[in-house]
Structure 1
Amino acid sequence: MSLAKTLAGIAQDLHSFESWEETLQGIVEAARLTIDGADGAGIMLLRRKGAVESPAYTGDPVLACDRVQAELGEGPCVEALWDAPVVRIDDMAREERWPNFARCAVELGVQSMLACRLSTQAEVLGSLNLHSRRPKAFDEDADQMTEVFAAHASIALADAHLSTTLRSAVTSRQVIGEATGILMERYGISSRQAFGMLVTASQHMNVKLRIVAEDVVRTRRDPGGAVPGR
């Protein structure tokens, strides 16, 4: 199969998943199967205030390796987030840039790595991380292939996040509407008053409005004990 057809197939596959979680796991599984030399793959996502998490991986050694980097604040995955978009370690036993991480990686059975930034024009999403049990598993061709793969993966992640956000917004609107209706019927009040009860409870309990509404729908109880006129 030609490279163009391979990449077209990858792009189609990565956009076929229905949820954020499925997209994440689908990306790492596809990367492991697509990139020559990869025995394992994982995704490290960038969160608020520089925190990172590893929500998708193909095996425990991958997760352990990501956690070591997060704890030490060093390694190819961290480097790919902030500095060079593609980072390769050919021989972990001889790695000098991040000696503490390299020592831990060797203990985990990782002999070479390739990390590539996941990003859109607007923001850095995280990094795609490939692991191998043998030294010098990745070359310049693997670098280029991974960079193209990461570009497709970044678009798929951005689309999946948007879809999840929109679905969540629709669900929140529906449950808030249902809770408002319950309070209107119970107390014979207007929709504005019922919605105000939900907002007041949300502020008083310091929880999201959707959570207050879900509790009203589930328990049929007043939100946070807020009763109009009492």
Structure 2
Amino acid sequence: MPTYPQSIAAQLAALVTEVHRGTAPEAAGLRDLIDSACEHVPGAQYVGITMADHADGITTVAASHRYPALLDEIQQRYQEGPCVSAAWEHATICIRDLETDHRWPRYRHEVLSQSPIRSVMAFELFADGPTMGALNFYAERPHAFDQESVELGLVFATHISLAWAVVRRQEQFRSALASRDLIGQAKGMIMERYRVDAVHAFELLKRLSQISNSKVVDVAQALIAAEFPPPAHHR
């Protein structure tokens, strides 16, 4: 394992802590992490985070340059490529020279014709149900990544995985708060209109949820929208 400078470890820890405390915007926090990875991993010129989802396809979460996003678009088009394989196969993928690597032929052809990228290194970041993520390093020259690159890439993948977990927890917490507020508002409407207590109001929401085969929060949102429709826009 290479001994990377203590300042890198301190910087990574500080960036993850900023994301955790909410003192840095989430997207900016991830961008800072990938910029640091691009600076410190030997051979790396560009870095990106790819998200792969069975329903929503392949997207770029953060990138240091337009090339990572371009290569993700190619992977989305053909549903193949090293970043997708790293995400779905829980693996570390390394393309030493795209000119001679034929594992993903359609992806290879498009990348060679549309970009100068010749080396790719991809690490699995997270697996969250149907959604997977990968941290990807790119270089324009072949054989850009050595063993030290791989080992440092793994270090950054670990830290970014931690930051990503924090971001996801924050999103889930905010979503839970929003859902609770909607349900509370709908319960209040039912209690006032039908003169029932909070327990019975929630039971009514649950019954409506079962009858309509919808989530309780969706039923609550529909009730609120029916009671307080948005104002019509006049031309």
**Structure 1-normalised TM-score?**
0.77
CA contact (8 A) 1:117 1:124 kept: no
How far off is 1:148 after superposition?
A: 0.6
> Once the 2 structures are TM-superposed, how far is the Cα of residue 216 of structure 1 from its aligned partner?
3.7
2:169 aligns to what? 162
Q: Are 1:104 and 2:104 an aligned pair?
A: no
Q: 1:8 maps to what in 2?
A: 10
Report the equivalent of 1:226: none
Q: Which moved more, 1:19-28 or 1:64-73?
A: 19-28
Does the 8 Å CA contact 2:86/2:124 hold for their aligned counterparts?
Answer: yes
Identity among equivalent positions (%) equals 29
Deviation at 1:23, TM superposition (A): 4.9
Please say if residues 23 and 157 of structure 1, whose CA atoms lie closer than 8 Å, have aligned partners that are also in contact: no
Mapped partners of 1:134, 1:181: distance in 2:
63
**Deviation digits for residues 169-213 of structure 1, max 9, x if unmatched?**
233223211221122112222223322333344344444322332
Deviation at 1:38, TM superposition (A): 2.7
Provide the residue aligned with 2:233 in structure 1: none
Following the alignment from structure 2 to structure 1, what is the Cα–Cα distance between the partners of residues 226 and 56?
38
- Contact 1:93 1:103 survives alignment (8 Å): no
Among 72, 82, 95, the alignment partner of 1:76 is: 82
Partner of 1:171: 178
Closer/same/farther in 2, CA of residues 210 and 49 from structure 1, 3 Å limit: closer
Alignment check: 8 A CA contact 1:14 1:26 kept:
no
Match of residue 225 from structure 1: none
Distance in 1 (CA, whole Å) between partners of 2:100 and 2:53 is 31
Q: Is the 8 A contact 2:54 2:130 kept in 1?
A: no
Candidates 87, 92, 102, aligned match of 2:98? 92
Taking only aligned residues, the RMSD between alpha carbons, in angstroms, comes to 3.3
**Equivalent position amino acid for 2:8 in 1:** T
- For residues 10 and 67 of structure 1, the distance between their equivalents in structure 2, rounded to whole angstroms, comes to 29
Structure 2 unaligned regions, length at least 5:
230-235
Cα drift, residue 145 of structure 1: 0.8
User: Which residue in 1 is equivalent to 2:150?
Assistant: 143
Alpha-carbon separation, structure 2, partners of 1:84 and 1:186: 53
**1: CA distance between counterparts of 2:107 and 2:98?**
9
SS of residue in 2 equivalent to 1:134? coil
Q: Give 2:14's aligned amino acid.
A: Q
Alignment match of 2:46 (pick from 22, 40, 46)? 40
Tell me what 2:134 maps to. Answer: 127
Contact residue 15 and residue 29 of structure 2 kept, 8 A: no
Alignment pair present for 1:183 and 2:190: yes
Secondary structure of 1:37's match?
Answer: coil
Change in CA separation of 1:83 and 1:180 when aligned onto 2, cut-off 3 Å: closer
Identify the range of structure 1 (50-59 vs 83-92) with the bigger mean alpha-carbon deviation: 50-59
For 1:171 and 1:21, how far apart are their aligned partners in 2? 21
Count of equivalent residues: 221
Structure 1 residue 214 corresponds to structure 2 residue 221 = yes
- The 3-state SS of whatever aligns with 1:96 is coil
Displacement of 1:52 in angstroms is 4.5
Query: Aligned letter for 1:79?
Result: S
**CA spacing shift, 1:13–1:138, aligned 2, 3 Å:** same
Aligned-partner SS, 1:130? strand
Note if contact 1:24-1:56 (Cα within 8 Å) is conserved in structure 2: yes
Question: Relative to structure 1, is the Cα distance of residues 32 and 214 closer, same or farther in structure 2, using a 3 angstrom cutoff?
Answer: farther
**Which residue of the partner structure matches residue 227 of structure 1?**
none
Cα distance in 2 for partners of 1:177, 1:154 equals: 34
